[in-house]
Structure 1
Amino acid sequence: MAINISNCDGFQWDDGNIDKNWKKHGVKNIECEEVFFNQPFMVGDDHKHSIAEKRYFVLGQTDLGRKLFIAFTVRARKIRVISARNMTKNEKRKYYEKT
């Protein structure tokens, strides 16, 4: 069962993730945050990567309409982005079907 992100009260950015997504995929932190506030979005469990801690993914869009896949976890009610990138064609298809 996917998490209810309405229970979260912010984002966790630190040296471990502050510029990782910009360097790796050209995604800004503000774009990651926008996805969680723009409807529609789709949240799911990331079973494959939930070994050490529970992980989730969100498919959504930025204020400018950029479609992103974001892997994240929740620590102390904060959303911690693990990875963010453009959606693949298959992810876009799922996003449009489910939202």
Structure 2
Amino acid sequence: MKSTINYKRIFSDILDQKYPEKKEICKDLLNKEILSTIDIIDLNKRIFDTVDEKTESFNQNHKAYNQSSVLYILDYQKQNRLNNSQVAKHFKLSRYTLRKWKKRYLV
């Protein structure tokens, strides 16, 4: 049997134990039925303010996106009429990654 990570419970416990003052700003995301990868990244930003550039760089190198998150990002680009550079900056991705996703998913 495959186990899945219960991010709602993890983030709720973190908020209860360490950051109760940030519960209100995270409530809308934690009330969702299913958390997407984008939601998890957003929750992480809301709870843990990035301290330094080294930590930010490390975290950026270890992000993984599933197909639904990639399609969300590409749809966001289309809806807001942004170029690759603008979307890459907004989601902290490389332009090459966006180009690769477009080639794979929007052919």
TM (norm. structure 2) is 0.26
- Higher strand proportion, which one? 1
Q: Pick 1 or 2: higher relative contact order, CA cutoff 8 A, min separation 6.
A: 1
Answer with 1 or 2: which has the greater Rg.
Answer: 2
- Higher helix proportion, which one? 2
